[in-house]
Each structure stands twice: as C-alpha cells, then as structure tokens.
Amino acid sequence: MICLNLVWIITVYNILVTGSNGQLGSEIRALSSDYSYNFFFTDRESLDITNSDTVKNLIEKNNINTIINCAAYTAVDKAESDEENADKINHLAVKNFAEIAKEKDIKLIHISTDYVFDGKNFKPYTEDDTTNPNGVYGDTKLKGEKAFLHGSPKNSIIIRTSWVYSSFGANFVKTMLRLGKEKESLGVIFDQVGTPTYARDLAKAILDILPNIKNEKPEIYNYSNEGVLSWYDFAKEIMRMAKLDCQINPIETYEYPTPAQRPHYSLLNKAKIKKEFGISIPFWKDSLDECLKTMGERK
C-alpha cells in the first residue's frame, strides 16, 4: 500500500500598491476587501519610489512579493517644462522597481500609456507596434518601459491604458460634469479618437489576473474599455446620462492648443490580454454608466 502525502502550497500575496491616492490606486483600494490579498498602500508622502534603499526596506519589512506600480507623473502639459521630475517618476523609479523585482523575485505590474505612440496609426495599436511618443510625458513613460524590459524581472507585466477616469481624482468625466452644470455650451475636440478606461475595470482586471501572471520575461499588454469614440462623443454621452442641459459643440485640435501634443488616434488592441488571461472587457458606455451611478450623477 502506497501512501501519498499531499501538500497544498498556498501563495499569500503581500502587495505593495504605489500611487494609492491616484485614480487606479484608489480603485484598487476600494476593491481590496473583495480579494484575499494583503495590501500595503503607499503614496508620495509615505514612500519615495525614486529611492531604491527606501523601497527595498519597505519590501523586506513587509515581506512584499508583488508590486503594482500605479505611481506616475501624469500632468501631460506640465511635463513639457518639468522633464526632470517626470523622468524621475516615469522612468528612473520604474528602473528601480524592475531591478528590485528581479533581485528579490517579486511579481511586478507596471502601468503605462497610449502616449508611447504618435497617434498616426490607422488600426488599433498592438503591443508590438512601433513606439514614437510626441512629448515629454510619453517619452518618459517609454523610457520607463524600456528600463522595465531591460531589467527583465520574471512574472512581470506592463499594461498600457488610455483615457483613464474614475469617481476618484481629477479627470475628464468630472471636468465635464462640473462645466456642464456651469455653462450653456462647451467646445470639445472631435478629431482625437480612442477609448476611455474606467479605472475600476482596470483595477479589477489586474487583481483578477494577478495569480496567473507567470512568465520568464516581461510582457506588455493593452487594456482599455471596448468601443471607439472621440472626446466629443464622450462628452455628449456624459451630458446625456447626467441629464445636463449643456450644448456640446465639436471643435478641432488646433482650436484648443496645448503645450503637449496629443495622439490623434490611440485605439488599443486588447486581443492579447483577453486571450491569455480569459477576461472580458466592458463596453465604454456601460462602464461610464456605472461610474456615474457611483458618483450619484446618473439621472
């Protein structure tokens, strides 16, 4: 008679979440009680992510085995005149995380952006398409990606996303709601096309796929909600759902000049993340509806 002793190995995920007061970090915090993970939420006041020793100390003290890096310098226009700080957060801090993750065999999830592309494509961008950022923000985010890939930590991924909004923080949806209550009409750009991303959908996707991230070298994935629209279309739907009597008028990009150039086309192909992790992605209107309900603005 042969006796087999079965040993169940259960992974306890001790997760460091950086940028926890931002849109994505706040959504992960809001969902955290739904998952049997141990979370350690940090922000710029509690953790200097540009200081490698400080990060290592926190990781060792709390036995961190997973990092979700939501921290980013996202002031796109300000970055044009503040390249040093944008580079520290979007590039050098990511380099630190990649090196630490490899050294300590830590799972690392890093959030990047559609701004690594120039927006001149004619079909949704895949993860392998040529990058060519237009400004400092996109350039520093791309440098962060390259440092991540060069660091080559196992079980680690980059997720590129676009047009992020949430019930937390400052974003396009909140701006439209505020202006829609103050003004009779607004001009909104119609010649920039992409897809918004409800940060709660992205947060849920990250937490769902986390146990299944198993790769020898870093991988890049795209994630946004499903569908295609312009900022004008987005604004029109926000006003309709919130029942705000504000006329939205289409304008061209040149009529609203900004220090940083935006990509005119930033649709992301999500086939890779859906196939490899078996996830479904909500349609953008459904997610906007959910967000407005959360905010108490859905009428």
Q: Quick: pLDDT tens for 222-252.
A: 999 999 999 999 999 999 999 999 999 999 9
In this structure, is residue 99 part of a structural domain?
yes
Question: Can you state the angle between helices 93-104 and 52-61, rounded to 10 degrees?
Answer: 40
Question: Can you state the angle between helices 172-182 and 231-242, rounded to 10 degrees?
Answer: 60
In this structure, is residue 189 part of a structural domain?
no
Q: Whose structure tokens read 């006041």? A: 45
**Whether pLDDT at 1 is above 50:** no
Listed in sequence order, the residues at least 6 apart from 272 whose beta carbon sits closer than 8 Å to its beta carbon are 126, 127, 221, 222
137 classed as catalytic: yes
CA distances from 138 to 76, 115, 127, 225, 292 (A): 8, 5, 15, 21, 29
In this structure, is residue 191 part of a structural domain?
no
pLDDT tens per residue across span 256-298: 999 999 999 999 999 999 999 999 999 999 999 999 999 999 9
The CATH number of the domain holding residue 166 is 3.40.50.720
N-to-C CA span, the chain: 69
Q: Return d(Cα 92, Cα 105) in angstroms, integer.
A: 20
Q: Return d(Cα 222, Cα 275) in angstroms, integer.
A: 12
How many structural domains does the chain have? 1
Q: Return d(Cα 111, Cα 83) in angstroms, integer.
A: 19
Annotated catalytic residue, options 115, 125, 137, 265: 137
The answer to whether the CB of 248 falls within 8 A of the CB of 232 is yes
In this structure, is residue 8 part of a structural domain?
no
Q: What is the mean pLDDT of the chain?
A: 95
Token pair listed for 283: 């349609």
Q: Return d(Cα 29, Cα 176) in angstroms, integer.
A: 25
Show the domain range for 204.
Answer: 14-170+196-224+268-282
The reported pTM is 0.95
In this structure, is residue 207 part of a structural domain?
yes
Say which amino acid occupies 120: K
The neighbour count for residue 215, using CB atoms within 10 Å, is 13
In this structure, is residue 120 part of a structural domain?
yes
In this structure, is residue 251 part of a structural domain?
no
Classified as helix, coil or strand, 247 is: strand
